[in-house]
Amino acid sequence: MVQRQREGEIRPDRRGWSLRSYMALFMVVLLAVAAVAAFSVRFMTELDARQAAVADTNFAAEKAAALLKSGFDQINDLSIPLSKDPSIGQLFADPTKCKLGYAPLGAFKTGRMDLVRLDGSVVCSSSKAAAPGGASPYNSQSWLSATAPIVVAPVLDPVTGGQVVVISYPIAGKGALVWFLDLVPIGPFLASEFGSGTHSLEFLITGENNQAVIARSIDSAQWVGKKLSAAPSASTSSNAGSPDLNDTNRIYGASIRNAAGWHLYVGADEAEALAVADLSANRFLVIILIGVGAMSLVVWVAYRRVAEPVRRLSLVMRGSTAEQPASVAVGAGAREVTDLAEDFDKLMATITHEEADRLATEEKVADSERNYRSLFESNPQPMWLYDIHTLAFLRVNDAAIARYGYSRDEFLAMTVKDIRRPENVPKFLQLTAHPPAFAKTGPWTHLMKDGSTLEVLVTSHAVSFGEKEARFVMAEDLTESQRLELELHQSQARAEASAALNRAKDEMVSLVSHEMRTPLASIVGFTELLTTREVTPEQRKEYLSVMLQEGHRLTALINDFLDLRRIEGGHMTMSFAPADIGALIKRVVEVFGKSGRSVVTARLADHLPLVRADSDSIFRVVANLLSNARKYSPNGGAIVVSAASVDGMVEISVQDQGLGIPADALSHLFQKFYRIDTADRRAIRGTGLGLAISKNIVEAHGGTIGARSAGPGLGSLFYFTLPVGREQSRAGDVLVVEDDSGFAHLLQAELATREISSVWAADAETAEQLLAKNGARAVVLDLLLPGLSGEAFLQRLRETYGPSIPVVVITLKDLELSENLALQQLGVTGVLRKGPGISGAAADLIENALAAQLVAR
Amino acid sequence: MTIVRRRTPPVLQILRTVLIADDEPSMRLLVHATIESDDYAVVEAADGAEAWAMVQKHKPSLVLLDVQMPERTGIEVLRSIKADPNLNATKVILLTSKAQESDVEAGLIAGADFYLTKPFSPLDLLTRVEEALQL
């Protein structure tokens, strides 16, 4: 029985081998493994090389067979319909009508195609070599008597004397369509298709029963047509090589037999394949040798640096006691061993000095707290601590008291909000809601006790102050150099923004020049054709109409583009005035709704408020949306233009039942030149700018524009909003009814110099609504208005409000006598013809009429 | 290669084919009118996908290819042509409306035989077509 040993003691029978023995055993195993690896690698690489060569040949054979088949297929596709065509007899009758050409077909790079009579003479040929007329070069050739399409190879071409494959398609009772395809280039072509590769490949094609060579990639001219005694043997299970026609050993894959009975062999050079395998095996051997050498070195060093020092350490420690500490000081040795020795020394030293160290540390802590406190209290920069929840000051230093003028007690009774201007407090609270651990912010304006202000940069840190979460703040006066730096930053930001704007402009110019090139190319091209060629009158008409259409397209593009630049650049002035959007929509429908397949209806909510709008621009937006709805409804369908009040705005929408819009395109619709490219839209033309222009106009009005669609084929809805006119509630002395915004403004200015207030309406419908709401003391009326005419408006004014309101009429044309009389009967104060200075005259007339009204009262 | 019947009485001809691919009808008309000839047949395609289908069907000797087309761009069609060993006899002339060097380079690297920038001279185009077909 073995007795249980106490912990820490080592049983003598478990002492084990010495480190030296382990190292020796390790070296023996290492060498054995290396030897086995070297031998098996040599064996495996050779096996791999043979398999790779077979795989290469099989792959090349498949590809080469496909190239051959592609050639045969193309010849069949071309020849069978032609040889069976009933009208081919006419070519035999009249050879001058026959034109033949030859282009490379799969693996057949060169050759020719002849139409041959039964007697062997040529009707026509794609090559000059087999010229028609003359003797019958193919007389008594065997393939000429075949009744079905036939492939014969190799054949000595009677015309050129070269080796060819003959493919003959008989034409019943007449002759045959015959292809003569050169055999010599086929082998080299197949080889070139697969490059030189790792193993130089041999391509060999033999006829039925392997009787003769049809094509060979090596020494092609010498071998094509040669009779063969035996075919190359396919690879065996061990992938061993066999001699080829030149007695070079080759590894052959499986042969392929095609429809014409040809056999295709591909063989890889055996010696070359094995040379590669040898090379890689040798490289591997070198790596193994280097590995074994390196491992031996490591083992030797480890032995030297571990075993020796451990032995010495153990000797010294046996002689050491607590009263008489011995220093081990082992010199060179592994790091673990050196560490062990040093730890032993340190343990001894620590036990001796521990108490002295503890006293010294306490002294240092007290010292450092004194230092920090004085750093805060006597720092020349104002500093404070505040509670981040209550914002109350917790500590302030002397510099802060001196700089801000508050006493310490005053400070501690305030919060940090109190030293900021009231208008800056929201921004400050926002910033401190989620304070970062460290922040440098500013410039801030701080208030001092005497009411004057201070520009500071603020550095702050999160700290804890006893139990509270606090923030330490240091305020730094903004120096002149910092101020300059801030300004520099701002001006750099402005410069970057302007550079970005310039880049956008450059991109725009390149986009526009691209869009213009297509119509321009048509116009320039057809002009050159017309000036350099004889053309028929019909062609001339067709070309000219395309040129006209492309010219219109170019014009529309330039106009739209210039308009867009004007609006985007803020150069287009909008004349905002109250406008009756319902009347405007009716006018658009009147002008653009009649022609075409779609039925356009306006659906207007009752009692629409007047909107604030530039009537001409909004007319254009509605017209653009309506024109798009019609263009993208090629099959017709109802189009509804509607308007309704929504949330204090008026929403105008155009709904169609046309092609609809894919969901992913909706967000891009309003970009310049964006087009949805699908087949059903290709014929629909446009400049690609209409919606971009509309978007700019609507946004200049303070409205929004957008589109919705359930998807392709389900129609689409475009909508935009306009703000309700604020001027509605304002009454003016004079109502100016005038569609020309420039003249209206002039007139209003003239009235204003006479201290007469006025309200402008761009059409009669708007004017009627303004009158009904606010009334007017006098009216200036242009006769020529969009929608309801001036005369009709005047008629209705008199019917509703009686003869008391003075009306001054402005006309563009000379009036007939009868028209003048009709106006007089309606009690107009004056009729003025539009021209220079007429606004002043109209204002004078109004002023007089208003004065007369006062006298009359 | 394709077989086309033209005029009366019917005469059989084996003719080479030229494909025009452009999404603008006016450009197709212009190019067609310019290169119209008895020496080859002309077919048209109105986008990149149709162009590739026509290339596979007709195996044209020459393709006049617009660069900016819907479905597949001209460059994509060009790459497909150059990647197909059955089409190694097909030549390509690019028609581009971008005058930027990089696009032209991309086209030539993809294997175009020549390029013309819109607007181009029809006579120049005809010369290039005849060169490409070695007429």
Give the pLDDT score at B30.
92
The CATH number for A574-723, chosen from 3.40.50.1220, 3.30.565.10, 3.40.50.10860, 3.30.70.100, is 3.30.565.10
Q: What is the pLDDT of residues A472-507, one digit of tens each?
A: 888 888 777 777 887 888 888 888 888 887 877 777
Give the pLDDT score at B7.
41
pLDDT for B31 beyond 90: yes
A539 chain-B contacts, CB cut-off 8 A: 33
Contact B10 A519 (CB under 8 A): no
The CA R_g of chain B, rounded to the nearest whole Å, is: 14
Residue in chain B lying closest to A543 (CA): B30
B1 chain-A contacts, CB cut-off 8 A: 78, 101, 103
Distance CA A436, CA A424 (A): 19
Q: Which positions in chain B have a beta carbon within 8 angstroms of at least one beta carbon in chain A?
A: 1, 3, 9-16, 23-24, 26-27, 29-30, 33-34, 46-47, 59, 61, 70-71, 85-86, 88-89, 97-98, 118-123
Chain A to chain B Cβ contacts (< 8 Å): 98
In a domain, B134, yes or no: no
Farthest-apart Cα atoms in chain B, separation: 51
Give me the number of domains chain B comprises: 1
**What average pLDDT is seen over chain B?**
82
- Chain A interface test: which of B32, B118, B125 (most A C-beta within 10 Å): B118
Q: What is the pLDDT of residues A501-528, one digit of tens each?
A: 787 777 777 777 777 888 888 999 999 9
Contact B30 A78 (CB under 8 A): no
pLDDT for A205 beyond 50: yes
- Mean pLDDT within B113-129: 89
Contact A520 B119 (CB under 8 A): yes
Size of chain B, expressed as the number of residues it contains: 135
Contact B61 A103 (CB under 8 A): yes
Q: Residue type at B50?
A: E
A525 chain-B contacts, CB cut-off 8 A: 30, 34, 119-122
Contact B9 A90 (CB under 8 A): yes
Higher pLDDT, A109 or A511: A109
Give the pLDDT score at A367.
82
Q: Tell me the nearest-neighbour CA distance from A427 into chain B, angstroms.
A: 50
Distance CA A363, CA A44 (A): 76
Q: Which helix (H) or strand (E) holds B64?
A: strand B62-66
Confidence of residue A731 (pLDDT cuts 50, 70, 90): low
pLDDT for A113 beyond 80: yes
Angle at A364 between CA A363 and CA A366, to 5 degrees: 70
The CATH number for A485-562, chosen from 1.10.287.130, 3.40.50.2300, 3.30.1370.10, 3.90.550.10, is 1.10.287.130
Contact B30 A67 (CB under 8 A): no
Q: What is the pLDDT of residues A344-366, one digit of tens each?
A: 677 767 766 766 677 778 788 77
Most confident range, picked from A70-79, A84-93, B53-62: B53-62
- Which tokens hold the place of A341? 């020795």
Task: Tell me how far CA of residue A312 lies from CA of A242, A342, A818, in angstroms.
Answer: 70, 14, 138
For residue B21, which of B67, B85, B84, B76 has the smallest C-alpha distance? B67
Q: Tell me the nearest-neighbour CA distance from A89 into chain B, angstroms.
A: 10
Fold of A378-478: Beta-Lactamase (3.30.450)
Q: Which positions in chain A have a beta carbon within 8 angstroms of at least one beta carbon in chain B?
A: 67, 70, 74, 78, 81-82, 85, 87-88, 90-91, 97-101, 103-104, 106, 113, 193, 514, 517-526, 528-529, 532, 539, 542-543, 546, 549-550, 677-679, 682
| Chain center to CA of B120 | 15
Size of chain A, expressed as the number of residues it contains: 857
Q: Where are the domains of chain A?
A: 35-270, 378-478, 485-562, 574-723, 730-856
In a domain, B102, yes or no: yes
Contact A82 B86 (CB under 8 A): no
Are A721 and A649 in contact by the 8 Å Cβ rule? The answer is: yes
For residue A267, which of A425, A72, A60, A520 has the smallest C-alpha distance? A60
Query: Sign (positive/negative) of CA torsion A658, A664, A670, A674?
Result: negative
Q: What is the pLDDT of residues A381-407, one digit of tens each?
A: 888 988 888 888 988 988 888 888 888
Give the pLDDT score at A422.
77
Confidence of residue A694 (pLDDT cuts 50, 70, 90): very high
Give the pLDDT score at A847.
87
B10 chain-A contacts, CB cut-off 8 A: 87, 90
In the DSSP assignment, the letter for residue A816 is P
Question: Which structural domain range is residue B26 located in?
Answer: 13-122
- Mean pLDDT within A225-236: 71
Q: Tell me the nearest-neighbour CA distance from A565 into chain B, angstroms.
A: 23
Give the pLDDT score at A27.
86
In the DSSP assignment, the letter for residue A424 is G
In a domain, B24, yes or no: yes
**What average pLDDT is seen over chain A?**
82
Contact B1 A90 (CB under 8 A): no
pLDDT for A122 beyond 50: yes
Of B3, B71, B123, the CB nearest to A532: B123
Angle at A670 between CA A669 and CA A672, to 5 degrees: 105
Are A284 and A85 in contact by the 8 Å Cβ rule? The answer is: no
Half-sphere exposure of A77 (CA within 13 A, CB side): 14
Give the pLDDT score at A7.
45
Give the pLDDT score at A6.
47
Contact A519 B26 (CB under 8 A): yes
The ipTM (two decimal places) reads 0.81
For residue A569, which of A505, A506, A627, A513 has the smallest C-alpha distance? A505
Angle at A502 between CA A501 and CA A505, to 5 degrees: 90
Are A612 and A725 in contact by the 8 Å Cβ rule? The answer is: yes
Name the burial class of residue A8, with classes exposed (0-12), middle (13-18) and buried (19+) by CB atoms within 10 angstroms of its CB.
exposed
Contact B118 A549 (CB under 8 A): no
Q: Tell me the nearest-neighbour CA distance from A92 into chain B, angstroms.
A: 11
Q: Tell me the nearest-neighbour CA distance from B85 into chain A, angstroms.
A: 8
- Which tokens hold the place of A283? 């490289």
- Which tokens hold the place of A668? 């891009």
pLDDT for A852 beyond 70: yes
In the DSSP assignment, the letter for residue A107 is T
Q: Is this structure's pTM higher than 0.90?
A: no
Q: Within 10 A of A612 (CB to CB), how many other CB atoms are there?
A: 20
- Which tokens hold the place of A396? 């302030």
pLDDT for B5 beyond 70: no
Fold of A730-856: Rossmann fold (3.40.50)
- Mean pLDDT within A801-821: 85
Are A71 and A189 in contact by the 8 Å Cβ rule? The answer is: no
In a domain, B1, yes or no: no
pLDDT for A161 beyond 90: no
Confidence of residue A3 (pLDDT cuts 50, 70, 90): very low
Give the pLDDT score at B65.
92
Give the pLDDT score at B81.
92
Give the pLDDT score at A679.
66
Contact A97 B11 (CB under 8 A): yes
For residue A276, which of A58, A57, A48, A34 has the smallest C-alpha distance? A48
- Provide φ and ψ at B43, rounded to 5°: -125, 160
In the DSSP assignment, the letter for residue B51 is H
Torsion of CA A275, A278, A283, A285, to 10 degrees: -170
For residue A722, which of A837, A619, A573 has the smallest C-alpha distance? A619
Contact B12 A87 (CB under 8 A): yes
Query: Residue A807 pairs with which residues in a beta bridge?
Result: A779
Torsion of CA A355, A358, A360, A363, to 10 degrees: -140
B61 chain-A contacts, CB cut-off 8 A: 103
DSSP of A731-772, one letter per residue?
Answer: --SEEEE-S-HHHHHHHHHHHHHTT--EEEESSHHHHHHHHH
Q: What is the CATH number of the domain that holds B104?
A: 3.40.50.2300
Residues of chain A with pLDDT > 90, as a percent, come to 7
- Chain A interface test: which of B2, B3, B8, B12 (most A C-beta within 10 Å): B12
Contact B12 A85 (CB under 8 A): yes
Taking each continuous run of H as one helix and of E as one strand, the counts in chain B are 5, 6
Higher pLDDT, A89 or A329: A89
- Which tokens hold the place of A688? 């690609």
Give the pLDDT score at A238.
67
Contact B122 A525 (CB under 8 A): yes
The 3-state DSSP class for residue A140 equals coil
A174 chain-B contacts, CB cut-off 8 A: none
Give the pLDDT score at B45.
92
Give the pLDDT score at B14.
63
- Which tokens hold the place of A499? 């550079």
Contact B118 A521 (CB under 8 A): yes
In a domain, B5, yes or no: no
For residue A585, which of A629, A637, A641 has the smallest C-alpha distance? A641
Query: Sign (positive/negative) of CA torsion A280, A282, A283, A285?
Result: positive
A98 chain-B contacts, CB cut-off 8 A: 12
Residues of chain A with pLDDT > 70, as a percent, come to 90
- Which residue do the tokens 């601590």 mark? A385
Respond yes or no on whether the N-terminal peptide bond of residue B119 is cis (omega within 30° of 0): yes
Name the burial class of residue A572, with classes exposed (0-12), middle (13-18) and buried (19+) by CB atoms within 10 angstroms of its CB.
middle
Residue in chain A lying closest to B50 (CA): A679
Q: Tell me the nearest-neighbour CA distance from A680 into chain B, angstroms.
A: 12
Give the pLDDT score at B2.
42
Of B3, B89, B122, the CB nearest to A103: B89
For residue B13, which of A209, A62, A97 has the smallest C-alpha distance? A97
Higher pLDDT, A369 or B120: B120
Q: Tell me the nearest-neighbour CA distance from A164 into chain B, angstroms.
A: 22
Contact B85 A193 (CB under 8 A): yes
